Amino acid sequence: MSHNIDEYITRFLEYVEIERGRSLKTVRNYDRYLRRFVAFSGVKHVEDITDEGVRRFRLWLNKQPSPDGGTLKKKTQNYYLIALRSFLKYMAREGIPTLSPERIELASVSSRDLDLISGEELERLLEAPEGDDLKALRDKAMLELLFSTGLRVSELASLSRDIEIEKDEFSVRGKGEKVRVVFISPSAREAVKKYLAARKDMDDALFIQLGPRANAEGDARLSPRSIERIVKHYAIKAGISRKVTPHVIRHSFATDLLQNGADLRSVQAMLGHSNIQTTQVYTHVTDRQLRDIHKAFHGKRRK
């Protein structure tokens, strides 16, 4: 019995969305990656996926142009392979014979360098919002909360004003609808309290647009893109030459914890990473610190 691949891709995408709780963006990406494989390979049935077909697809991917004028980066090529491997795992789960998912090997990619700012630059960034007007108080609270919690920008944007700010922690729903606990530093709690005390509106969102645009657009909640623009504004004001985004502040949160002795598993939990390998990228930063310690203290008694 043959199994139509288009039908089973649809079933797989429904499984990813409903059973695995992945975001609609992830589902759309998986759909695009898998449909491209099917269009290239001409595969009609799940059983027709072969090593040779995957090999030819990888060669084709490697020659595809990228927006920057070069060819598709290895990391981007891996997105297609991850989607295909996940689909094959689903087929195995359903008991449908096809290529083993273990046959899909990802392309080797060099360890990525983190976009980091120094501790002194971070301090300048956090102090950049000045004054007691509502905008300055909002932006100060936003920056302090980003660094205190390590939230993703989408998670920050989705916060409601009814978070229990007097406590040292609150729950947030992150990727894959997974709930985790994040923690509030004293400086972040104080900044958020000042901001909320100055609010006169009744909007449910924690971080809102201010001025005429808020009224014109109806929904007062700040979007992730708006938060990114605000962070960029204060980075320039703080005299930081490199690009600074909310994700850079998230990097600073993680490296600050690790450099001060936190273990990798704890940082993984606080970041909301489902895989420890995602968190391990930060060890490259602490590895440099360990090298400095080794040079300073190792072998000093030897002649």
Catalytic residue among 58, 175, 199, 237: 175
User: Quick check: 135 and 210 in contact, CB under 8 A?
Assistant: yes
- Per the annotation, the verdict on 250 as an active-site residue is yes
- Per the annotation, the verdict on 175 as an active-site residue is yes
CB atoms within 10 A of CB 31: 16
Catalytic residue among 180, 194, 232, 247: 247
- Per the annotation, the verdict on 152 as an active-site residue is yes
Catalytic residue among 140, 189, 250, 251: 250
Catalytic residue among 152, 189, 221, 251: 152
- Active site amino acids: 152, 175, 247, 250, 273, 282
